[in-house]
């Protein structure tokens, strides 16, 4: 699959690299305090933070992972958008951002300290720091895979090269550099993927031709004829669809626990809203992001569906996804191989630039979140409490270096999965799922206590570990994919196992937090004002245009999402 790039392709890549590094150098002079480095001085307009909110999630897990899932699971992958993202993005904008932004917390763990206590903050800070390292490592692995497969670069060199590149512009410009690069990367990704979808669909005869070809894939794998092109029709039992999950497992595990757990509590995305220049702008940030989020399935999932359709089209196509040593398809190569298949010189450079932009976006988002949490919620809280602002700014830059190096180690673990989205959702099931239960109770039930939150979080994470240790996906061996306590249940796929791991983690945390809270003393109401929904004055939308009112925008987007689900029922 290796290719030879033309001078035009190299020129496009060079222009992208110069612009990316240039942003870091230009913004270096504006970083004069730790607040500038970690929160952009809370001075970014809503449309910038909105696109950054979306683009911070447009890392390798989105572009490579969702295309891989499109090849592996078909149009059911759209659930990660229309069920597992947009509703939660609307919820965080309407209900939760006022608490984050209004409390003046510098991070999500710091909000937990204000609402509960120090030990709850510490537990979340450590678990979140580990999660960001894994997420950043996944992006590095995907970039190494791309550069090795397409350009013949050494895999190890590719990982270290990408790490050094991201380190440079974050070290210089901090969060502001990451945000403005994420906005540029958003437009690059869109520009690079629209022609890929157009050329691929034209080759297979449009949507109707793709549907016909995917019927052969469904039949070959023992599913119903429309299992790869219908989002809901084959979810009666796990055996009927390629994702191997029934409707309840998807709606509860993905649509509620994993979705709300990520978009509502993950500091990676919340940090972008907290950098906005006003409360109104902060609330609009996830709502602005939700609108383009709705159309991304057509940009990243459809190419994966085309790739698997061509792979099963024996005799009439020279395209085929390669297989790993265990006999499974290497779905992560769907997008790179599609670009090689359809893009001529020049356009191939644009496509590669879009892919590189997605990797940089994912790595930068996780590293900026990591250095903030490390500095404020671990170092300042437990190691050196009385340093001056310049000291913490330097610590943040040092944390950036450490985060990049640790991510390199995580990159090598990602090679154990044939779809990096499977690994990512497993990490979310351990960290975000129980955390969402804690936030839900903390923000909307004033009786929740610090002891309840802390023990609930520990119990939820332990429940995830036990469930994972007792279960395995079909065909997997005991190890990182589970079963290390002795497999007592087999799931149809890794994703189905992840959904149920998340359900067990959330439910356990939710129940334990309630029980322990009822047995312990809560904080007085005066200490909870501005932190709990029932004790916080409602924000007024008077004087705002209709498109600036979060409630109206959220209702409109929900109607559109319902329509998309009905069209692809």
pLDDT tens-digit profile of 301-355?
A: 999 999 999 998 765 567 888 887 778 888 888 888 898 889 888 888 888 888 8
- What letter would DSSP give residue 538? P
**pLDDT of amino acid 378:** 93
Walk me through the domains of the chain, giving residue ranges and CATH numbers. 7-421 (1.20.1730.10)
Q: Is the pLDDT of residue 2 over 80?
A: no
pLDDT classification of 419: cutoffs 50, 70, 90: low
At residue 56, does pLDDT exceed 90? no
What string of DSSP letters covers 322-369? -B-TTS-B-GGGHHHHHHHHH--TTHHHHHHHHHHHHHHHHHHHHHHH
How many angstroms separate the CA atoms of 375 and 267, rounded? 14
Q: Is the pLDDT of residue 448 over 90?
A: yes
List, in order, residues 6 or more apart from 100 with CB less than 8 Å away.
108, 111, 270, 273, 274, 282
**Alpha-carbon distances of 451 from 116, 436, 506, 515, rounded to whole Å:** 8, 16, 17, 10
Per-residue model confidence (pLDDT) at position 351: 86
Kindly report the backbone phi and psi dihedral angles of residue 377, in degrees, each rounded to the nearest multiple of 5, phi listed first.
-100, -10
Residues 480-503 have pLDDT tens digits of 788 888 888 899 888 889 999 999
- The confidence band for 546, taking pLDDT boundaries of 50, 70 and 90, is confident
**Does the pLDDT value for residue 406 go beyond 90?**
no
Q: Which of 346, 260, 354 is nearest to 299 (CA)?
A: 354
Q: Per mean pLDDT, which range of 195-199, 286-290, 479-483 is the poorest?
A: 479-483
Asked whether 91 and 264 are in contact (CB, 8 A), the reply is: yes
Least confident window among 24-38, 43-57, 431-445, 471-485: 24-38
pTM confidence score: 0.86
Tell me what pLDDT residue 22 has. Answer: 85
Nearest residue to 111 via CA among 331, 274, 334: 274
DSSP string, 112-143: HHHHT-HHHHHHHHHHHHHHHHHHHHHHHHHH
Tell me the C-alpha distance between 223 and 74, whole Å: 12
Instruction: Give tens-digit pLDDT for 231-240.
Output: 999 988 888 8
Residues 6+ apart with CB under 8 A from 297: 66, 75, 77, 78, 81, 82
57 or 216, which is more confident? 216
| Average pLDDT of the residues in 419-446 | 86
Residue 547 burial (CB < 10 Å; 0-12/13-18/19+)? exposed
């Amino acid at each position: 699959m290796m290719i030879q790039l033309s001078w035009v392709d190299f020129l496009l890549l060079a222009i992208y690299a110069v612009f990316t590094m240039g942003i870091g150098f230009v913004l270096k002079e504006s970083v004069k305090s730790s607040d500038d480095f970690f929160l952009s001085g809370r001075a970014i307009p809503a449309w910038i933070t909105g696109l950054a909110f979306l683009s911070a999630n447009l890392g390798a897990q989105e572009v490579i992972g969702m295309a891989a899932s499109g090849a592996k699971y078909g149009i059911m992958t759209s659930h990660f958008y229309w069920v597992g993202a947009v509703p939660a993005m609307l919820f965080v904008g309407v209900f939760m951002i006022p608490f984050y932004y209004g409390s003046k917390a510098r991070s999500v763990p710091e909000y937990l300290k204000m609402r509960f206590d120090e030990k709850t903050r510490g537990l979340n800070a450590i678990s979140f720091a580990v999660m960001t390292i894994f997420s950043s490592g996944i992006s590095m692995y995907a970039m190494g895979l791309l550069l090795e497969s397409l350009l013949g670069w050494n895999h190890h060199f590719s990982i270290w090269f990408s790490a050094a590149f991201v380190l440079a512009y974050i070290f210089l410009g901090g969060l502001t550099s990451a945000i403005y690069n994420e906005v540029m990367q958003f437009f690059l990704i869109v520009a690079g993927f629209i022609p890929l979808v157009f050329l691929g669909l034209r080759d297979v005869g449009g949507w109707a031709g793709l549907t016909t070809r995917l019927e052969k894939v469904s039949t070959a794998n023992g599913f119903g004829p429309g299992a790869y092109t219908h989002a809901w029709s084959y979810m009666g039992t796990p055996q009927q669809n390629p994702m191997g999950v029934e409707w309840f497992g998807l709606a509860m595990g993905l649509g509620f626990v994993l979705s709300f757990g990520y978009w509502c509590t993950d500091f990676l995305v919340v940090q972008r809203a907290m950098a906005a220049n006003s409360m109104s702008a902060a609330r609009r940030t996830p709502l602005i992001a939700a609108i383009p989020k709705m159309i991304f399935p057509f940009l990243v999932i459809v190419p994966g569906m085309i790739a698997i359709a061509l792979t099963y089209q024996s005799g009439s196509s020279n395209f085929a996804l390669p297989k790993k040593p265990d006999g499974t398809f290497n779905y992560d190569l769907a997008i790179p191989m599609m670009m090689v298949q359809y893009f001529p010189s020049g356009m191939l450079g644009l496509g590669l630039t879009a892919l590189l932009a997605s990797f940089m976006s994912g790595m930068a988002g996780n590293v900026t979140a990591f250095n903030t949490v490390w500095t404020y919620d671990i170092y300042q809280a437990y190691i050196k409490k009385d340093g001056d602002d310049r000291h913490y700014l330097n610590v943040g830059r040092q944390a950036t270096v450490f985060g990049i190096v640790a991510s390199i180690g995580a990159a090598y673990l990602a090679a154990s999965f044939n779809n990096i989205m499977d690994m990512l959702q497993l990490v979310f099931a351990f960290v975000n799922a129980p955390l969402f239960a804690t936030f839900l109770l903390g923000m909307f039930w004033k009786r929740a206590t610090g002891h309840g939150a802390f023990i609930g979080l520990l119990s939820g994470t332990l429940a995830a570990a036990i469930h994972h240790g007792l279960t395995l996906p079909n065909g997997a061996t005991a190890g990182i994919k589970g079963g290390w306590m002795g497999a007592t249940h087999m799931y149809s796929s890794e994703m189905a196992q992840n959904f149920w791991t998340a359900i067990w983690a959330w439910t356990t945390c939710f129940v334990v937090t309630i029980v322990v809270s009822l047995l312990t003393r809560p904080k007085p109401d005066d200490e909870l004002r501005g932190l709990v929904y029932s004790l916080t004055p409602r924000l007024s939308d008077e004087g705002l245009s209709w498109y600036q009112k979060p409630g109206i925008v959220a209702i409109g987007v929900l109607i559109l999402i319902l329509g998309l689900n009905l069209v692809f029922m």
